[in-house]
A and B are shown apart, each in its own frame.
Chain A
C-alpha cells in the first residue's frame, strides 16, 4: 500500500517480487541524510573522478570535489594516475585552484602558496624554504637543532585510485572493496570496448532543482519514456529492450526498431546501452553515434544537484552530425529535468512518506536498496 504517513514507512523491501517499497521519502528530503551521504555513500564507494585522456602527460592534473573532500587527480612521472587531498601537510592550506578536467592544469611539482612547501607528483615533500631550515627568528633554537621534515611522513594524503579503461575512479575510505568487485561484469564489458581511443569533445553542466537520487531513479527506468521522450522513443522497440540488474550497477539495453549501421556505434550489439554505476555515475552508449557519453550526478545539497554530461568522439572537434547528436541528448536531459523537478516539488511537500515501485522499476529498486544498505551500514 502506498504510505502517506511516516509512521507506516518501512525499509526498502528485500525482494521486489514480494513487496515493492521504495526508499522512504525522508531519505530524499532530510538535510541530515545529505550530511550522512557524504560519509556513508560518497565516502565508502568508488566514485568516478574523470577521464584519463584529459591528463595524458605526466604533471597534468584536475581537481574534483566529492562531498567535503577536494582532490587533486594527477598523472605522476611514472605515468600512473594518483589522487591527493588538496590540503597541505604543513598547516592545511588548500593548494591548487579548482581545475576541471576539461581545462587541466600542468605542474612539475605541487607547491603550496602559503609557505611554499613543495611536493613531488608522488605526494612526497620535496622542499621547504630556508625559513624552515634555519632558526633565524627563534632565539631558543640553534640552526643545527632545527628538526628535519621527513619527506614521507610529511607527504600529501593520498586517496585510492583505480581505473576501468580510461575512466578514473577514486575511493575516499581507508580500506575499500576493490573497484573490480564493485564494478563486477561492467568492468570487463567496458574494458572490452576501445573507450580510450575516443577523445573528450564537450561538457554540458546543468543545475537541477531536485535531490540527486530523484534524477538517478529517473535515469534507471524507461516506463516514463513513452509519455515524455516522444522523439527518442520513435527509434526504439521498448518491448524487446531489457533491464539488467547487477550488484552495484544496472544496464538498460534498448533495442533499435530498425537496424542501425555498424560503423555508427562503438559497440557491436544492435542496441543502446545505458550503464548506471552506484552511486552517481553513468556510461551512455547510444546506438546511433560513434562515441559515448558519461553523466556525473553530483549533489550540491539536499535540494539540488548538477548533471555533468561529457561526450567522447573519435576527434575532440565536434562534427556537425555530432553536434546535432549532442543537441538531441541535451533535449532528453531537458525533458528529464522537467520530470524530476516536478516530482521533487511533489516529494518535498512531505505528503508521500513512501512510494512503491512497479515491476519494470526493479532497477530503481536496486538503487534504493543500495542507498538503504549504505545508510544502515
Chain B
C-alpha cells in the first residue's frame, strides 16, 4: 500500500501485515469486518487521532457513548467508540461484541447504521 502522511485512523492485522489508513473511523470497522470474514483474523488500531471537543472521562462503553453523543449530530460513529475503547484496552472485536450486548439490553441504539446513541 502506498505510503502517505499519517492518516488520523490506522488499523492493521498483526497476522497478515495489511493495514488501512483513513480519515473515516467507520472505515476501520468495515475493514475489521471484511478482514475477519475472510480470514478469521482481528484487525487492531495502530493509531487513532481522536479530534474531540472534550476528553472522555468515563470507562464503561455505555457511558462513553453517552458522553460522546453531545459532540455528534446523529449518533457516534462506532469507529470512534472503538478507538476510545481501544485506549481502555478493548480490542475492536471486543468492543463490537460489547456494543451488541448492550444494545440487546436496550442501553444503546443506532440512530443510523453503525452510529450509536445511548439512553
Given contact pairs A337-B1, A341-B1, A342-B2, A308 touches B38 in the complex (Cβ within 8 A): yes
Any chain B CB within 8 A of the CB of A121?
no
B45-89 to A contact mask, C-beta < 8 Å, 1/0 = 000000000000000000000000000000000000000000000
- Chain A residues within 8 Å of B7, by CB: none
The distance from the CB of B34 to the nearest CB of chain A, in whole angstroms, is 7
A308 to B26, CA, bound (A): 22
Given contact pairs A207-B31, A338-B2, A341-B1, A100 touches B38 in the complex (Cβ within 8 A): yes
Chain A interface size, as a band, is: 20 to 34
| B34→A306 contact, CB < 8 A | yes
A50 to B39, CA, bound (A): 13
| A207→B18 contact, CB < 8 A | yes
- Chain A residues within 8 Å of B1, by CB: 206, 208-209, 334, 337-338, 341
Any chain A CB within 8 A of the CB of B103?
no
Any chain B CB within 8 A of the CB of A205?
yes
A102 to B16, CA, bound (A): 14
A273 to B67, CA, bound (A): 58
The distance from the CB of A201 to the nearest CB of chain B, in whole angstroms, is 13
Any chain B CB within 8 A of the CB of A109?
no
The distance from the CB of A14 to the nearest CB of chain B, in whole angstroms, is 36
Any chain B CB within 8 A of the CB of A98?
yes
Any chain A CB within 8 A of the CB of B17?
yes
A338 to B4, CA, bound (A): 12
Given contact pairs A100-B40, A102-B40, A103-B40, A205 touches B35 in the complex (Cβ within 8 A): yes
A310 to B35, CA, bound (A): 14
Considering the complex, which residues of chain A in the window 305-338 have a beta carbon less than 8 Å from any beta carbon of chain B? Answer: 306, 308, 330, 334, 337-338
A228 to B13, CA, bound (A): 26
Chain A-chain B contacts (Cβ-Cβ < 8 Å), number = 48
Given contact pairs A207-B31, A209-B1, A341-B1, A98 touches B17 in the complex (Cβ within 8 A): no
A341 to B1, CA, bound (A): 7
Any chain A CB within 8 A of the CB of B90?
no
Classify the interface of chain B: helix, strand, loop or mixed. mixed
B6-45 to A contact mask, C-beta < 8 Å, 1/0 = 0000000100111010000000000100111111110000
- Chain B residues within 8 Å of A206, by CB: 1, 16, 18
Given contact pairs A209-B1, A342-B2, A204 touches B38 in the complex (Cβ within 8 A): no
**Per a CB cutoff under 8 Å, which of A100, A102, A205, A342 touches B18?**
A205
Given contact pairs A341-B2, A342-B2, A205 touches B40 in the complex (Cβ within 8 A): no
| B2→A205 contact, CB < 8 A | no
- Chain A residues within 8 Å of B41, by CB: 205
- Chain B residues within 8 Å of A341, by CB: 1-2
| A204→B37 contact, CB < 8 A | no
A208 to B2, CA, bound (A): 10
Any chain B CB within 8 A of the CB of A65?
yes
| A300→B18 contact, CB < 8 A | no
Any chain B CB within 8 A of the CB of A40?
no
Given contact pairs A330-B17, A337-B1, A342-B2, A203 touches B34 in the complex (Cβ within 8 A): no
* Chain B residue at minimum C-beta to C-beta distance from A206: B18
- Interface residues, chain B, with chain A CB atoms under 8 Å away: 1-2, 13, 16-18, 20, 31, 34-41
Q: Which 3 A-B pairs have the closest CB atoms?
A: A103-B40, A98-B37, A206-B18
